[in-house]
Structure 1
Protein backbone atom coordinates (compact mmCIF):
# COMPACT_ATOMS: atom_id res chain seq x y z
CA UNK A 1 0.00 0.00 0.00
CA UNK A 2 1.36 3.41 -0.88
CA UNK A 3 0.00 6.88 -0.14
CA UNK A 4 1.01 10.15 -1.83
CA UNK A 5 0.31 13.74 -0.81
CA UNK A 6 0.80 16.52 -3.36
CA UNK A 7 0.63 20.29 -2.94
CA UNK A 8 0.30 22.31 -6.15
CA UNK A 9 0.27 26.11 -6.54
CA UNK A 10 -2.12 28.26 -8.50
CA UNK A 11 -0.78 30.11 -11.50
CA UNK A 12 -1.30 33.19 -13.58
CA UNK A 13 -0.62 33.21 -17.30
CA UNK A 14 0.06 35.63 -20.16
CA UNK A 15 1.09 38.56 -17.92
CA UNK A 16 -0.04 40.93 -20.65
CA UNK A 17 1.21 40.15 -24.13
CA UNK A 18 3.00 36.89 -23.26
CA UNK A 19 0.07 34.87 -24.60
CA UNK A 20 0.56 31.12 -23.96
CA UNK A 21 4.23 31.88 -23.23
CA UNK A 22 4.62 33.51 -19.80
CA UNK A 23 3.35 32.27 -16.46
CA UNK A 24 3.98 32.55 -12.75
CA UNK A 25 3.23 30.32 -9.76
CA UNK A 26 1.21 31.90 -6.95
CA UNK A 27 1.00 31.07 -3.25
CA UNK A 28 -2.48 29.58 -3.26
CA UNK A 29 -2.51 25.81 -3.18
CA UNK A 30 -4.59 22.71 -3.79
CA UNK A 31 -3.59 19.64 -1.81
CA UNK A 32 -4.45 16.13 -2.98
CA UNK A 33 -3.92 12.99 -0.92
CA UNK A 34 -4.15 9.64 -2.72
CA UNK A 35 -3.79 6.08 -1.60
CA UNK A 36 -4.17 2.69 -3.18
CA UNK A 37 -7.12 0.74 -1.76
CA UNK A 38 -8.82 -2.60 -2.34
CA UNK A 39 -11.31 -2.44 -5.18
CA UNK A 40 -11.80 -2.91 -8.89
CA UNK A 41 -8.84 -1.77 -10.95
CA UNK A 42 -9.43 1.71 -12.34
CA UNK A 43 -12.09 2.65 -9.82
CA UNK A 44 -11.81 5.67 -7.53
CA UNK A 45 -13.56 7.35 -4.62
CA UNK A 46 -12.95 11.09 -4.39
CA UNK A 47 -13.84 13.51 -1.62
CA UNK A 48 -13.57 17.25 -2.23
CA UNK A 49 -13.33 20.03 0.33
CA UNK A 50 -13.43 23.68 -0.72
CA UNK A 51 -13.58 24.82 -4.33
CA UNK A 52 -15.55 22.47 -6.56
CA UNK A 53 -17.16 20.53 -3.70
CA UNK A 54 -20.47 19.14 -4.88
CA UNK A 55 -19.88 20.10 -8.52
CA UNK A 56 -16.99 17.90 -9.71
CA UNK A 57 -17.09 14.11 -10.20
CA UNK A 58 -16.32 12.00 -7.15
CA UNK A 59 -15.25 8.86 -8.97
CA UNK A 60 -12.84 7.84 -11.72
CA UNK A 61 -14.18 10.66 -13.94
CA UNK A 62 -12.46 13.24 -11.74
CA UNK A 63 -9.70 15.07 -13.66
CA UNK A 64 -6.95 14.18 -11.19
CA UNK A 65 -7.85 10.49 -11.36
CA UNK A 66 -7.93 10.49 -15.15
CA UNK A 67 -4.48 12.06 -15.26
CA UNK A 68 -3.18 9.53 -12.72
CA UNK A 69 -4.43 6.66 -14.89
CA UNK A 70 -3.02 8.11 -18.11
CA UNK A 71 0.34 8.85 -16.52
CA UNK A 72 0.64 5.39 -14.97
CA UNK A 73 0.04 3.94 -18.43
CA UNK A 74 2.81 6.17 -19.81
CA UNK A 75 5.08 4.89 -17.04
CA UNK A 76 4.33 1.27 -17.90
CA UNK A 77 1.54 0.45 -15.44
CA UNK A 78 -1.37 -0.43 -17.77
CA UNK A 79 -3.75 -1.58 -15.01
CA UNK A 80 -4.40 1.38 -12.70
CA UNK A 81 -5.12 0.53 -9.08
CA UNK A 82 -8.23 1.39 -7.14
CA UNK A 83 -7.69 4.80 -5.59
CA UNK A 84 -9.03 6.90 -2.77
CA UNK A 85 -8.46 10.66 -3.13
CA UNK A 86 -9.05 13.61 -0.85
CA UNK A 87 -8.87 17.03 -2.53
CA UNK A 88 -8.47 20.16 -0.44
CA UNK A 89 -9.07 22.88 -3.01
CA UNK A 90 -8.26 26.53 -2.47
CA UNK A 91 -7.76 27.61 -6.09
CA UNK A 92 -10.99 29.12 -7.45
CA UNK A 93 -12.39 27.21 -10.42
CA UNK A 94 -12.77 28.87 -13.84
CA UNK A 95 -11.34 32.19 -12.67
CA UNK A 96 -8.03 32.37 -14.56
CA UNK A 97 -5.85 31.07 -11.72
CA UNK A 98 -4.93 27.72 -13.23
CA UNK A 99 -7.22 25.36 -11.34
CA UNK A 100 -7.31 22.80 -14.16
CA UNK A 101 -3.54 23.06 -14.63
CA UNK A 102 -3.04 22.44 -10.91
CA UNK A 103 -5.27 19.35 -11.10
CA UNK A 104 -3.32 18.02 -14.07
CA UNK A 105 0.02 18.57 -12.32
CA UNK A 106 -1.36 16.94 -9.17
CA UNK A 107 -2.35 13.85 -11.17
CA UNK A 108 1.09 13.62 -12.75
CA UNK A 109 2.84 13.98 -9.41
CA UNK A 110 0.60 11.38 -7.73
CA UNK A 111 1.18 8.88 -10.52
CA UNK A 112 4.94 9.30 -10.26
CA UNK A 113 4.76 8.95 -6.49
CA UNK A 114 2.74 5.76 -6.77
CA UNK A 115 5.28 4.44 -9.27
CA UNK A 116 8.14 5.22 -6.91
CA UNK A 117 9.58 8.08 -8.94
CA UNK A 118 9.81 11.86 -8.55
CA UNK A 119 7.98 13.97 -11.13
CA UNK A 120 10.53 16.77 -10.60
CA UNK A 121 13.55 14.53 -11.17
CA UNK A 122 15.65 15.50 -14.18
CA UNK A 123 14.84 12.27 -16.02
CA UNK A 124 11.07 12.77 -15.64
CA UNK A 125 10.24 16.47 -15.50
CA UNK A 126 10.54 17.27 -19.21
CA UNK A 127 8.17 14.48 -20.25
CA UNK A 128 5.81 15.32 -17.38
CA UNK A 129 5.66 18.94 -18.51
CA UNK A 130 4.91 17.89 -22.09
CA UNK A 131 2.15 15.50 -21.04
CA UNK A 132 0.58 18.17 -18.84
CA UNK A 133 0.71 20.76 -21.60
CA UNK A 134 -0.79 18.38 -24.17
CA UNK A 135 -3.77 17.83 -21.89
CA UNK A 136 -4.11 21.54 -21.03
CA UNK A 137 -3.48 22.71 -24.60
CA UNK A 138 -0.70 25.14 -23.65
CA UNK A 139 2.26 25.05 -21.28
CA UNK A 140 2.29 28.35 -19.35
CA UNK A 141 -0.02 27.42 -16.44
CA UNK A 142 1.12 23.81 -16.05
CA UNK A 143 4.77 24.83 -16.22
CA UNK A 144 4.27 27.37 -13.44
CA UNK A 145 2.44 24.89 -11.22
CA UNK A 146 5.01 22.16 -11.85
CA UNK A 147 8.24 24.16 -11.75
CA UNK A 148 7.31 27.16 -9.61
CA UNK A 149 8.41 30.81 -9.87
CA UNK A 150 8.26 32.71 -13.20
CA UNK A 151 8.23 30.56 -16.34
CA UNK A 152 8.80 31.03 -20.05
CA UNK A 153 7.09 28.35 -22.15
CA UNK A 154 7.32 27.48 -25.81
CA UNK A 155 6.66 24.69 -28.29
CA UNK A 156 9.56 23.16 -30.17
CA UNK A 157 8.47 20.94 -33.06
CA UNK A 158 5.97 18.62 -31.37
CA UNK A 159 7.25 19.12 -27.79
CA UNK A 160 6.16 21.61 -25.15
CA UNK A 161 9.08 23.10 -23.23
CA UNK A 162 9.52 25.59 -20.39
CA UNK A 163 12.14 27.08 -18.12
CA UNK A 164 11.70 28.52 -14.63
CA UNK A 165 13.46 31.78 -13.78
CA UNK A 166 13.49 33.49 -10.36
CA UNK A 167 11.18 36.49 -10.18
CA UNK A 168 12.57 39.66 -8.64
CA UNK A 169 11.92 39.90 -4.87
CA UNK A 170 9.89 43.08 -5.40
CA UNK A 171 7.37 41.35 -7.68
CA UNK A 172 4.33 41.11 -5.38
CA UNK A 173 1.22 39.81 -7.18
CA UNK A 174 -2.27 40.78 -6.10
CA UNK A 175 -5.31 39.01 -7.58
CA UNK A 176 -8.74 40.60 -7.94
CA UNK A 177 -11.05 37.60 -8.13
CA UNK A 178 -14.67 38.15 -9.21
CA UNK A 179 -17.57 35.89 -8.34
CA UNK A 180 -18.38 34.97 -11.94
CA UNK A 181 -16.70 32.09 -13.73
CA UNK A 182 -15.19 31.95 -17.19
CA UNK A 183 -14.54 29.09 -19.61
CA UNK A 184 -11.22 29.17 -21.46
CA UNK A 185 -12.68 27.60 -24.62
CA UNK A 186 -15.31 30.34 -24.75
CA UNK A 187 -12.92 33.26 -24.32
CA UNK A 188 -10.43 31.76 -26.78
CA UNK A 189 -13.28 31.64 -29.26
CA UNK A 190 -13.42 35.43 -29.16
CA UNK A 191 -9.88 35.78 -30.49
CA UNK A 192 -9.40 36.54 -34.19
CA UNK A 193 -7.58 34.14 -36.48
CA UNK A 194 -5.22 36.96 -37.53
CA UNK A 195 -3.97 40.15 -35.88
CA UNK A 196 -2.35 43.21 -37.46
CA UNK A 197 1.39 42.94 -37.96
CA UNK A 198 1.91 46.02 -35.82
CA UNK A 199 0.07 44.38 -32.90
CA UNK A 200 2.10 41.19 -33.26
CA UNK A 201 5.34 43.18 -33.20
CA UNK A 202 4.09 45.14 -30.19
CA UNK A 203 3.27 41.90 -28.34
CA UNK A 204 6.68 40.39 -29.09
CA UNK A 205 8.44 43.44 -27.71
CA UNK A 206 6.33 43.63 -24.56
CA UNK A 207 6.62 39.91 -23.85
CA UNK A 208 10.40 40.16 -24.14
CA UNK A 209 10.36 43.23 -21.90
CA UNK A 210 8.27 41.32 -19.34
CA UNK A 211 11.12 38.86 -18.80
CA UNK A 212 13.44 41.74 -17.91
CA UNK A 213 10.81 43.46 -15.78
CA UNK A 214 9.83 40.40 -13.76
CA UNK A 215 13.31 39.02 -13.22
CA UNK A 216 15.56 42.12 -13.11
CA UNK A 217 13.80 45.49 -13.14
CA UNK A 218 10.23 45.78 -11.77
CA UNK A 219 10.16 49.49 -12.63
CA UNK A 220 9.40 48.33 -16.20
CA UNK A 221 6.31 46.32 -15.25
CA UNK A 222 3.72 48.87 -16.34
CA UNK A 223 5.05 48.99 -19.89
CA UNK A 224 5.86 45.28 -19.94
CA UNK A 225 2.31 44.16 -19.12
CA UNK A 226 0.58 46.23 -21.82
CA UNK A 227 -1.29 44.11 -24.34
CA UNK A 228 -2.81 44.36 -27.80
CA UNK A 229 -2.96 40.67 -28.56
CA UNK A 230 -5.94 39.25 -26.68
CA UNK A 231 -7.42 41.27 -23.80
CA UNK A 232 -9.49 43.77 -25.79
CA UNK A 233 -10.90 40.98 -27.97
CA UNK A 234 -12.11 39.20 -24.84
CA UNK A 235 -13.77 42.24 -23.32
CA UNK A 236 -17.32 41.14 -24.28
CA UNK A 237 -16.90 38.08 -22.03
CA UNK A 238 -15.96 40.11 -18.94
CA UNK A 239 -16.26 43.88 -19.38
CA UNK A 240 -15.82 44.49 -15.63
CA UNK A 241 -12.47 42.71 -15.70
CA UNK A 242 -11.11 44.80 -18.57
CA UNK A 243 -12.46 47.96 -16.95
CA UNK A 244 -10.55 47.14 -13.76
CA UNK A 245 -7.35 46.49 -15.73
CA UNK A 246 -7.71 49.91 -17.35
CA UNK A 247 -8.43 51.61 -14.04
CA UNK A 248 -5.36 50.13 -12.39
CA UNK A 249 -3.15 51.00 -15.33
CA UNK A 250 -4.47 54.57 -15.42
CA UNK A 251 -3.12 54.89 -11.87
CA UNK A 252 0.31 53.65 -12.90
CA UNK A 253 -0.19 50.11 -11.55
CA UNK A 254 0.86 47.21 -13.77
CA UNK A 255 -2.18 45.02 -14.37
CA UNK A 256 -3.38 42.38 -16.81
CA UNK A 257 -6.08 39.77 -17.18
CA UNK A 258 -4.97 36.58 -15.44
CA UNK A 259 -5.03 33.75 -17.94
CA UNK A 260 -8.44 33.43 -19.55
CA UNK A 261 -9.96 35.67 -16.88
CA UNK A 262 -12.01 36.94 -15.27
CA UNK A 263 -9.43 37.46 -12.47
CA UNK A 264 -7.22 40.55 -12.73
CA UNK A 265 -3.56 40.33 -11.80
CA UNK A 266 -1.89 43.46 -10.44
CA UNK A 267 1.83 43.92 -9.86
CA UNK A 268 1.98 47.15 -7.87
CA UNK A 269 5.13 49.00 -6.92
CA UNK A 270 6.22 49.54 -3.34
CA UNK A 271 4.11 52.64 -2.72
CA UNK A 272 1.08 51.86 -4.89
CA UNK A 273 -2.25 51.05 -3.27
CA UNK A 274 -3.93 48.69 -5.70
CA UNK A 275 -6.55 47.54 -3.20
CA UNK A 276 -8.44 50.82 -3.27
CA UNK A 277 -9.32 50.14 -6.91
CA UNK A 278 -11.27 46.97 -6.14
CA UNK A 279 -14.90 47.29 -7.30
CA UNK A 280 -17.79 45.52 -5.62
CA UNK A 281 -17.89 41.81 -6.31
CA UNK A 282 -14.10 41.33 -6.46
CA UNK A 283 -12.18 39.60 -3.66
CA UNK A 284 -8.63 40.90 -3.26
CA UNK A 285 -5.91 38.34 -2.53
CA UNK A 286 -2.23 38.93 -1.85
CA UNK A 287 -0.57 36.00 -3.63
CA UNK A 288 3.24 36.04 -3.37
CA UNK A 289 5.23 34.19 -6.00
CA UNK A 290 5.45 30.48 -5.19
CA UNK A 291 9.10 29.56 -5.57
CA UNK A 292 8.83 25.76 -5.29
CA UNK A 293 6.14 24.50 -7.63
CA UNK A 294 4.59 21.08 -7.05
CA UNK A 295 5.83 19.18 -4.00
CA UNK A 296 5.22 15.53 -3.28
CA UNK A 297 5.41 13.47 -0.11
CA UNK A 298 5.22 9.69 -0.39
CA UNK A 299 4.01 7.75 2.64
CA UNK A 300 3.73 4.06 3.31
Structure 2
Protein backbone atom coordinates (compact mmCIF):
# COMPACT_ATOMS: atom_id res chain seq x y z
CA UNK A 1 0.00 0.00 0.00
CA UNK A 2 1.07 3.61 -0.47
CA UNK A 3 1.54 6.07 2.34
CA UNK A 4 -1.82 7.62 3.25
CA UNK A 5 -1.97 10.87 5.15
CA UNK A 6 -5.12 10.19 7.16
CA UNK A 7 -6.35 7.10 8.98
CA UNK A 8 -9.20 6.20 11.32
CA UNK A 9 -8.74 3.38 13.82
CA UNK A 10 -11.46 1.77 15.94
CA UNK A 11 -10.25 -0.33 18.89
CA UNK A 12 -12.34 -2.47 21.26
CA UNK A 13 -12.23 -2.55 25.03
CA UNK A 14 -11.02 -5.71 26.71
CA UNK A 15 -11.31 -7.68 29.92
CA UNK A 16 -8.19 -9.40 31.17
CA UNK A 17 -7.46 -12.26 33.58
CA UNK A 18 -11.04 -13.62 33.36
CA UNK A 19 -10.59 -15.09 36.81
CA UNK A 20 -7.55 -17.36 36.99
CA UNK A 21 -5.70 -16.27 33.84
CA UNK A 22 -3.60 -13.52 35.41
CA UNK A 23 -1.72 -11.62 32.67
CA UNK A 24 -2.51 -14.44 30.24
CA UNK A 25 -6.19 -14.46 29.23
CA UNK A 26 -8.13 -11.67 27.57
CA UNK A 27 -11.47 -11.03 25.90
CA UNK A 28 -12.32 -8.26 23.43
CA UNK A 29 -15.59 -6.44 24.11
CA UNK A 30 -17.86 -4.37 21.87
CA UNK A 31 -17.12 -0.94 23.31
CA UNK A 32 -14.87 1.22 21.20
CA UNK A 33 -12.44 4.10 21.13
CA UNK A 34 -12.19 5.86 17.77
CA UNK A 35 -9.03 7.70 16.77
CA UNK A 36 -8.47 9.82 13.65
CA UNK A 37 -4.91 10.77 12.79
CA UNK A 38 -3.72 13.07 10.01
CA UNK A 39 -0.06 13.34 9.04
CA UNK A 40 0.99 16.94 8.40
CA UNK A 41 4.02 18.63 6.86
CA UNK A 42 3.91 21.26 9.58
CA UNK A 43 5.81 20.17 12.72
CA UNK A 44 3.94 19.76 15.96
CA UNK A 45 1.23 17.73 17.63
CA UNK A 46 -2.40 18.80 17.92
CA UNK A 47 -4.74 16.59 19.96
CA UNK A 48 -8.48 16.78 20.57
CA UNK A 49 -10.21 14.40 22.97
CA UNK A 50 -13.91 13.86 23.63
CA UNK A 51 -15.79 11.31 25.70
CA UNK A 52 -14.24 9.25 28.48
CA UNK A 53 -11.23 10.83 30.12
CA UNK A 54 -11.45 14.02 28.08
CA UNK A 55 -10.86 16.20 31.13
CA UNK A 56 -7.97 14.12 32.45
CA UNK A 57 -5.72 13.03 29.58
CA UNK A 58 -3.00 15.32 28.20
CA UNK A 59 -3.46 16.88 24.78
CA UNK A 60 0.20 17.02 23.79
CA UNK A 61 3.14 14.72 23.04
CA UNK A 62 2.59 12.86 26.29
CA UNK A 63 -0.82 11.53 25.22
CA UNK A 64 -0.66 7.73 25.27
CA UNK A 65 -1.81 7.36 21.65
CA UNK A 66 0.93 9.77 20.52
CA UNK A 67 3.54 7.89 22.55
CA UNK A 68 2.41 4.61 21.01
CA UNK A 69 2.67 6.09 17.51
CA UNK A 70 6.21 7.26 18.15
CA UNK A 71 7.20 3.89 19.61
CA UNK A 72 5.84 2.22 16.49
CA UNK A 73 7.51 4.70 14.15
CA UNK A 74 10.83 3.82 15.78
CA UNK A 75 10.28 0.39 14.21
CA UNK A 76 8.43 1.23 11.00
CA UNK A 77 10.13 4.52 10.18
CA UNK A 78 8.56 7.33 8.11
CA UNK A 79 7.40 9.46 11.03
CA UNK A 80 5.71 12.57 9.62
CA UNK A 81 6.75 16.07 10.57
CA UNK A 82 3.57 16.59 12.56
CA UNK A 83 0.21 15.06 13.39
CA UNK A 84 -3.33 16.12 14.09
CA UNK A 85 -5.33 13.66 16.16
CA UNK A 86 -8.92 13.42 17.29
CA UNK A 87 -9.94 10.82 19.90
CA UNK A 88 -13.53 9.87 20.68
CA UNK A 89 -13.35 7.66 23.75
CA UNK A 90 -16.04 5.29 24.94
CA UNK A 91 -13.89 2.94 27.03
CA UNK A 92 -13.95 4.09 30.69
CA UNK A 93 -10.56 4.96 32.15
CA UNK A 94 -9.11 3.16 35.18
CA UNK A 95 -12.04 0.77 35.41
CA UNK A 96 -10.48 -2.53 34.30
CA UNK A 97 -11.65 -2.45 30.68
CA UNK A 98 -8.30 -2.01 28.98
CA UNK A 99 -8.41 1.71 28.16
CA UNK A 100 -4.62 2.09 28.13
CA UNK A 101 -4.17 -0.98 25.94
CA UNK A 102 -6.82 0.31 23.54
CA UNK A 103 -4.98 3.62 23.29
CA UNK A 104 -1.65 1.90 22.67
CA UNK A 105 -3.17 -0.32 19.97
CA UNK A 106 -4.86 2.67 18.31
CA UNK A 107 -1.60 4.59 18.16
CA UNK A 108 0.55 1.70 16.96
CA UNK A 109 -1.92 0.70 14.25
CA UNK A 110 -2.30 4.31 13.07
CA UNK A 111 1.49 4.68 12.83
CA UNK A 112 1.71 1.42 10.92
CA UNK A 113 -0.81 2.60 8.33
CA UNK A 114 0.72 6.06 8.00
CA UNK A 115 4.07 4.36 7.34
CA UNK A 116 2.51 2.64 4.33
CA UNK A 117 2.36 -0.80 5.92
CA UNK A 118 -0.45 -3.33 6.26
CA UNK A 119 -1.48 -3.91 9.90
CA UNK A 120 -2.52 -7.47 9.07
CA UNK A 121 1.06 -8.20 8.00
CA UNK A 122 2.61 -6.38 10.95
CA UNK A 123 0.66 -7.94 13.81
CA UNK A 124 3.78 -9.38 15.39
CA UNK A 125 5.49 -6.00 15.53
CA UNK A 126 2.29 -4.31 16.70
CA UNK A 127 1.96 -6.79 19.54
CA UNK A 128 5.55 -6.15 20.66
CA UNK A 129 4.96 -2.39 20.69
CA UNK A 130 1.64 -2.45 22.52
CA UNK A 131 2.33 -5.28 24.97
CA UNK A 132 5.74 -3.76 25.66
CA UNK A 133 4.11 -0.49 26.68
CA UNK A 134 1.68 -2.38 28.92
CA UNK A 135 4.17 -4.84 30.38
CA UNK A 136 1.89 -7.76 29.55
CA UNK A 137 -0.02 -8.83 26.45
CA UNK A 138 -3.50 -9.91 27.57
CA UNK A 139 -5.39 -6.62 27.05
CA UNK A 140 -3.30 -5.47 24.09
CA UNK A 141 -3.67 -8.77 22.24
CA UNK A 142 -7.45 -8.79 22.77
CA UNK A 143 -7.83 -5.23 21.46
CA UNK A 144 -5.53 -5.93 18.53
CA UNK A 145 -6.88 -9.34 17.49
CA UNK A 146 -10.42 -9.53 18.89
CA UNK A 147 -12.05 -12.60 20.40
CA UNK A 148 -10.58 -14.66 23.24
CA UNK A 149 -6.80 -14.57 23.54
CA UNK A 150 -4.13 -16.54 25.32
CA UNK A 151 -1.02 -14.43 25.86
CA UNK A 152 2.41 -15.19 27.22
CA UNK A 153 5.86 -13.67 27.55
CA UNK A 154 9.14 -15.25 26.55
CA UNK A 155 12.00 -13.75 28.54
CA UNK A 156 15.47 -13.87 27.00
CA UNK A 157 18.84 -12.81 28.31
CA UNK A 158 18.45 -9.22 27.22
CA UNK A 159 14.80 -8.72 26.31
CA UNK A 160 11.28 -10.08 26.50
CA UNK A 161 9.08 -11.11 23.60
CA UNK A 162 5.32 -11.26 23.74
CA UNK A 163 3.11 -13.82 22.05
CA UNK A 164 -0.64 -14.32 21.70
CA UNK A 165 -3.05 -16.78 20.13
CA UNK A 166 -6.60 -15.78 19.24
CA UNK A 167 -9.47 -18.25 19.57
CA UNK A 168 -13.16 -17.94 18.71
CA UNK A 169 -15.43 -17.52 21.71
CA UNK A 170 -18.44 -19.81 22.08
CA UNK A 171 -21.58 -18.14 20.74
CA UNK A 172 -23.42 -18.94 23.96
CA UNK A 173 -21.39 -16.44 26.02
CA UNK A 174 -22.89 -12.96 26.40
CA UNK A 175 -20.66 -10.79 28.61
CA UNK A 176 -22.13 -8.04 30.75
CA UNK A 177 -19.84 -5.41 32.26
CA UNK A 178 -20.96 -3.95 35.58
CA UNK A 179 -18.94 -0.76 35.41
CA UNK A 180 -18.00 0.67 38.77
CA UNK A 181 -18.36 4.38 39.33
CA UNK A 182 -15.04 4.50 41.17
CA UNK A 183 -11.64 4.29 39.50
CA UNK A 184 -8.85 1.89 40.36
CA UNK A 185 -5.12 2.03 39.73
CA UNK A 186 -3.47 -1.03 38.21
CA UNK A 187 -0.24 -0.08 39.96
CA UNK A 188 -2.02 0.04 43.31
CA UNK A 189 -3.83 -3.27 42.90
CA UNK A 190 -0.66 -5.02 41.71
CA UNK A 191 1.00 -3.75 44.85
CA UNK A 192 -1.44 -5.81 46.90
CA UNK A 193 -0.24 -9.09 45.40
CA UNK A 194 2.22 -11.24 47.38
CA UNK A 195 5.59 -12.29 46.03
CA UNK A 196 4.78 -15.94 46.80
CA UNK A 197 1.53 -17.91 46.88
CA UNK A 198 0.91 -21.34 48.45
CA UNK A 199 1.58 -24.26 46.13
CA UNK A 200 -2.01 -25.62 46.43
CA UNK A 201 -3.36 -22.22 45.33
CA UNK A 202 -0.99 -22.10 42.38
CA UNK A 203 -1.97 -25.61 41.30
CA UNK A 204 -5.66 -24.81 41.71
CA UNK A 205 -5.40 -21.65 39.62
CA UNK A 206 -3.33 -23.39 36.94
CA UNK A 207 -5.99 -26.05 36.51
CA UNK A 208 -8.73 -23.42 36.24
CA UNK A 209 -6.75 -21.44 33.66
CA UNK A 210 -6.44 -24.53 31.49
CA UNK A 211 -10.14 -25.23 31.94
CA UNK A 212 -10.94 -21.65 30.89
CA UNK A 213 -9.65 -22.29 27.37
CA UNK A 214 -12.17 -25.10 26.96
CA UNK A 215 -14.99 -23.20 28.69
CA UNK A 216 -14.66 -20.01 26.65
CA UNK A 217 -14.36 -21.76 23.31
CA UNK A 218 -16.44 -24.93 23.51
CA UNK A 219 -18.06 -25.62 26.89
CA UNK A 220 -19.56 -22.48 28.47
CA UNK A 221 -21.38 -24.63 31.02
CA UNK A 222 -17.94 -25.02 32.65
CA UNK A 223 -17.43 -21.28 33.13
CA UNK A 224 -18.39 -21.28 36.80
CA UNK A 225 -15.54 -23.64 37.68
CA UNK A 226 -13.23 -22.21 35.02
CA UNK A 227 -13.39 -18.67 36.44
CA UNK A 228 -12.40 -19.62 39.99
CA UNK A 229 -9.18 -18.00 41.15
CA UNK A 230 -6.85 -18.14 44.12
CA UNK A 231 -3.96 -16.19 42.65
CA UNK A 232 -4.93 -12.51 42.70
CA UNK A 233 -8.59 -11.57 43.23
CA UNK A 234 -8.69 -12.37 46.94
CA UNK A 235 -5.57 -10.34 47.65
CA UNK A 236 -7.02 -7.35 45.79
CA UNK A 237 -10.35 -7.41 47.60
CA UNK A 238 -9.45 -4.50 49.94
CA UNK A 239 -9.05 -2.23 46.89
CA UNK A 240 -12.67 -2.73 45.76
CA UNK A 241 -14.78 -4.54 48.36
CA UNK A 242 -18.08 -3.63 46.67
CA UNK A 243 -16.89 -5.18 43.40
CA UNK A 244 -15.70 -8.32 45.17
CA UNK A 245 -19.04 -8.58 46.96
CA UNK A 246 -20.86 -8.25 43.63
CA UNK A 247 -18.74 -11.04 42.12
CA UNK A 248 -19.72 -13.23 45.06
CA UNK A 249 -23.41 -12.33 44.70
CA UNK A 250 -23.46 -13.07 40.98
CA UNK A 251 -21.77 -16.42 41.45
CA UNK A 252 -24.12 -17.32 44.29
CA UNK A 253 -27.01 -16.55 41.92
CA UNK A 254 -25.57 -18.93 39.32
CA UNK A 255 -23.81 -16.46 37.00
CA UNK A 256 -20.05 -16.87 36.42
CA UNK A 257 -18.38 -13.56 37.24
CA UNK A 258 -14.91 -12.15 37.78
CA UNK A 259 -13.16 -8.87 38.43
CA UNK A 260 -12.39 -7.36 35.03
CA UNK A 261 -8.65 -6.83 34.76
CA UNK A 262 -7.36 -4.76 37.67
CA UNK A 263 -10.94 -3.76 38.52
CA UNK A 264 -13.12 -2.37 39.83
CA UNK A 265 -15.49 -3.31 36.99
CA UNK A 266 -17.11 -6.74 37.28
CA UNK A 267 -17.53 -9.01 34.27
CA UNK A 268 -20.55 -11.33 34.28
CA UNK A 269 -20.48 -14.16 31.74
CA UNK A 270 -24.16 -14.64 31.01
CA UNK A 271 -25.98 -16.71 28.41
CA UNK A 272 -28.46 -14.00 27.42
CA UNK A 273 -26.93 -10.61 28.24
CA UNK A 274 -28.88 -10.11 31.47
CA UNK A 275 -27.90 -10.42 35.11
CA UNK A 276 -30.05 -12.02 37.82
CA UNK A 277 -32.75 -9.86 39.39
CA UNK A 278 -32.54 -8.77 42.99
CA UNK A 279 -28.85 -7.89 43.12
CA UNK A 280 -27.68 -4.69 44.78
CA UNK A 281 -26.15 -2.81 41.84
CA UNK A 282 -25.72 0.50 43.62
CA UNK A 283 -22.66 2.24 42.20
CA UNK A 284 -22.51 0.07 39.07
CA UNK A 285 -23.71 0.65 35.50
CA UNK A 286 -24.94 -2.48 33.74
CA UNK A 287 -23.51 -2.62 30.23
CA UNK A 288 -24.12 -5.68 28.00
CA UNK A 289 -21.03 -5.98 25.80
CA UNK A 290 -20.98 -8.75 23.19
CA UNK A 291 -17.60 -10.24 22.38
CA UNK A 292 -15.81 -8.26 19.67
CA UNK A 293 -14.62 -10.73 17.02
CA UNK A 294 -12.59 -8.38 14.81
CA UNK A 295 -10.15 -6.41 16.94
CA UNK A 296 -8.62 -3.16 15.70
CA UNK A 297 -10.29 -1.87 12.53
CA UNK A 298 -8.79 0.56 10.04
CA UNK A 299 -10.37 3.01 7.62
CA UNK A 300 -8.13 5.01 5.31
CA UNK A 301 -9.59 8.39 4.47
Shared fold (TM-score, shorter chain, > 0.5): yes
Measured in 1, the distance between the counterparts of 2:151 and 2:192 equals 23
Q: Tell whether the 8 Å contact from 2:9 to 2:299 is kept in structure 1 after alignment.
A: yes
Q: Tell whether the 8 Å contact from 1:108 to 1:119 is kept in structure 2 after alignment.
A: no
Deviation at 1:279? 1.6
SS in 2 for 1:44: strand
Q: Tell whether the 8 Å contact from 1:266 to 1:274 is kept in structure 2 after alignment.
A: no
Q: Does 1:127 align with 2:129?
A: no
SS in 2 for 1:111: helix
Q: Tell whether the 8 Å contact from 1:268 to 1:274 is kept in structure 2 after alignment.
A: no
Q: Does 1:21 align with 2:19?
A: no
Structure 1, unpaired ranges of 5+: none
Measured in 2, the distance between the counterparts of 1:26 and 1:260 equals 16
Aligned match of 1:56: 57
Aligned match of 1:136: 134
Deviation at 1:275? 5.7
Once the two structures are superposed, residues 11-48 of structure 1 have per-residue CA deviations (whole angstroms, 9 ceiling, x without a partner) of: 000000000000000000000000012422xx211111
SS in 2 for 1:116: coil
Deviation at 1:278? 4.7
Aligned match of 1:192: 194
Aligned match of 2:293: 291
Measured in 1, the distance between the counterparts of 2:164 and 2:277 equals 32
Within-5 A mapping of 1:10-89:
10-40=13-43, 43-77=44-78, 80-89=80-89
Aligned match of 2:98: 98
Aligned match of 1:2: 5
Aligned match of 1:279: 281
Aligned match of 1:155: 153
Aligned match of 2:236: 234
- For these two proteins, the number of residue pairs brought into alignment is 294
Identify the range of structure 1 (62-71 vs 86-95) with the bigger mean alpha-carbon deviation: 62-71
Aligned match of 1:222: 224
Structure 1 residue runs of 4 or more that deviate by more than 3 Å after TM superposition: 269-276
Measured in 2, the distance between the counterparts of 1:239 and 1:273 equals 20
Q: Tell whether the 8 Å contact from 1:5 to 1:31 is kept in structure 2 after alignment.
A: yes
**RMSD value over aligned CA atoms?**
1.4
Q: Aligned to 2:174, which of 169, 172, 175?
A: 172
Once the two structures are superposed, residues 230-250 of structure 1 have per-residue CA deviations (whole angstroms, 9 ceiling, x without a partner) of: 001001111001000001111
Aligned match of 1:145: 143
Deviation at 1:66? 1.1
SS in 2 for 1:203: helix
SS in 1 for 2:23: coil
Deviation at 1:73? 1.6
SS in 1 for 2:233: coil
Deviation at 1:270? 4.6
Measured in 1, the distance between the counterparts of 2:47 and 2:59 equals 4
Deviation at 1:273? 3.5
* TM-score, normalised with respect to structure 2: 0.95
Measured in 1, the distance between the counterparts of 2:223 and 2:19 equals 10
Aligned match of 2:183: 181
* TM-score, normalised with respect to structure 1: 0.95
Cα 1:34–1:276 change in 2 (3 A) is: farther
